[in-house]
Amino acid sequence: MFRRWSVQRRLTLAALLCALAGYGVTALLVTPLVHTMATGYLVEETAKAARRIAFVVERDAPGRLRPVAVTEGTDLIQVVDADGRIRQASPRLTGLPPLSTATATGDDARLDTTTCTNRVPGVNCLITVGFRAHVGGRPWMIYAYTPALPWYISPLYLPVTGLGVLLLAAVTACVAWLTARNALTPVSAIRNELAEITATDLGRRVPRGRRRDELDDLARTVNETLDRLERAVEQQRRFASDASHDLRSPIAAMRTQVEEAMLAPEEADWPRTGRRVIEGLDRLQNIVGDLLTLARLEAGAPGRREPVDLARLVREELLRRPERKPVETRLRSGVVVEGDALRLSRLLANLLDNAERHADTMITVTVGEHEGRAVLEVLDDGAGIAPDQREAVFRRFTRLADSRRRDAGGTGLGLPIAREIAEAHEGRLTIEPSERGARFVLQIPLISS
């Protein structure tokens, strides 16, 4: 049942339980403490009265004893001589025998005790403070009495205390309820907005709070999550669009080739048709493989994190590749980055493939350092890329006219994959100005020592 309660009702119940607990603590712990303090106060006030009377008795007795001067709050006093006779008494104790026979012993002239008797109407036990006075060389005792406090201190103490605790709890519950209601209003707005967001309307965002508090942090985090979700959905849509766009052409071409051969099967060159279909399948396979690689990179699929020496990476990649065009290397040893060697090899291979398609006679690969970052450059001596086209080549399936002329079977995904790999390594891949050809520059943070 409690699980269905609102936060406000839970806070109100918690406040009431705290009130009951506070009342119990007051009754069990605070009341004895207050009782002790009040009793101590009464004892000292009674002692003042007894000490004052003892001083007067020691000065004037026995011949000039005056009536006992009753002080406010202490009206039970007896003066008892050495023979146990009452020599003076306050009006309420006149005619009564001594209520206490205890005497102060030793060097201490004060007596503190409790006397229980039924001789004083309405009183059961009395706090008793006595002082010894010397009269004519003999010890007299001056007793001052005051009624002992009951354990509940006063008939009004517990009710008034309980009322105060309940009042405080009620105020606390009211403040907590109002605070919770005001605090949860933004939560309701966030919930309502999230309930209305659908896959077709991911541009909406939850409202931010007016105060920069935890709820505003929650709204900001929700909006950041929605931003990531929108980007992911957009990437998925773009992936589907790109795949359908570039897969349609080779599939249509293969279908046309097969249908033409089937129209005249006796006249068709089936080996030639088969080779053309296999070429189309190879292109499809390359496109699908590149698209899956891009999808994994954009989804943030983690790669291996290990030290990679860029100079060694370049040498190993050049050894694996057939030499179609001469490659000049300018490699600085000890340029080490942290990353996935396989992905960085893929990046380098894509840059080299691009350079081989456009170079006239030579490719230059350089590895160095600049301002705490590793720098890898791949330069060809071809026609180069116009400044207004240098960002366009990193878009998917973008192939310039010269690229289509030189390699009609390319997928247009090599350079986008290379840039995604660079960004996954907290680096950047750009095309920088050069005297001749296209100069691709990769910068990645050096490994932290």
Query: How much is the pLDDT for 2?
Result: 45
447 touches 336 (CB < 8 A): yes
Stretches where the chain sits below pLDDT 70 are: 1-16, 18-28, 64-73, 106, 183-184, 198-201, 209, 211, 213, 235-236, 238-247, 249, 286-287, 290, 293-303, 397-411, 448-449
The 3-state secondary structure of the chain reads CHHHCCHHHHHHHHHHHHHHHHHHHHHHHHHHHHHHHHHHHHHHHHHHHHHHHHHHHHHHCCCCCCCCCCECCECEEEEECCCCCEEEECHHHCCCCCCCCCCCCCCCCEEEEEEECCCCCCCCEEEEEEEEEEECCEEEEEEEEEECCCCCCCCCHHHHHHHHHHHHHHHHHHHHHHHHHHHHHHHHHHHHHHHHCCCCCCCCCCCCCCCCCHHHHHHHHHHHHHHHHHHHHHHHHHHHHHHHHHHHHHHHHHHHHHHHHHHCCCCCCHHHHHHHHHHHHHHHHHHHHHHHHHHHHHCCCCCCCEEEEHHHHHHHHHHHCCCCCCEEEEECCCCEEEECHHHHHHHHHHHHHHHHHHCCCCEEEEEEEECCEEEEEEEECCCCCCHHHCCHHHCCCCCCHHHHHHCCCCCCCHHHHHHHHHHHCCCEEEEECCCCCCEEEEEEEECCC
Query: How much is the pLDDT for 364?
Result: 92
Which token pair is 263? 């129209």
For 382, residues 6+ apart whose C-beta sits below 8 A from its C-beta are 355, 358, 359, 360, 436, 437, 438
Distance CA 3, CA 81 (A): 76
Q: What b-and-e string marks burial along 383-399, b requiring 16 or more CB atoms within 10 Å of the CB? A: ebbeeeebeebbebbeb
Measuring CA to CA, how many Å separate 333 from each of 20, 344, 366, 375, 378? 76, 17, 11, 12, 17
Same CATH topology for 20-147 and 306-445: the answer is no
Give this prediction's pTM.
Answer: 0.45
Distance from CA of residue 262 to its chain's centroid?
68
Distance CA 422, CA 444 (A): 7
Which token pair is 165? 């605790």
Distance CA 111, CA 150 (A): 22
Distance CA 5, CA 28 (A): 32
Query: How much is the pLDDT for 245?
Result: 62
Q: Where are the domains of the chain?
A: 20-147, 306-445
User: Which amino acid is present at 428?
Assistant: R
Residue with tokens 């006030």: 45
Q: 306-445: which CATH architecture? A: 2-Layer Sandwich (3.30)
Query: How much is the pLDDT for 128?
Result: 92
Q: 20-147: which CATH architecture? A: 2-Layer Sandwich (3.30)
